[in-house]
Amino acid sequence: MAVVKDITADTFDETVAGGTVLVDFWAPWCSSCKMLNAVLEQVAATAPADVVIAKVNVDNEAALAAKFEVVSLPKMLIYKDGALVREFKGVQSRAKIVEALS
């Protein structure tokens, strides 16, 4: 099972520095984000334990959202060992996310 955790600007760099990390930019008022959250819960349940699903609440982390040019939600970034390897905008299927994480 993957690790799911909330991150902030203070913990972002440390979180994405190693391993495989999916960063989900979301907001509590975003209905698409709620749909994606259900998909991410399924992904987390089956993903390897070394995968991290990091969640960034854009209402609380506006500067971090601006840094990554988040203009629509949800937005996901996938990092492998600190390097950005993939970016998604909008709700994605479980299969597409799992493929991107492998």
Which residues are known catalytic residues? 30, 33
* Cα–Cα distance for residue pair 54/4, rounded to 1 Å: 6
Task: Give the amino acid at 7.
Answer: I
Using a 10 angstrom Cβ sphere, with 0-12 exposed, 13-18 middle and 19 or more buried, the burial of residue 98 is: middle
Which distant-in-sequence residues (6+ apart) come within 8 Å of 97 by Cβ?
22, 39, 40, 43, 76, 88
Task: Give the amino acid at 102.
Answer: S
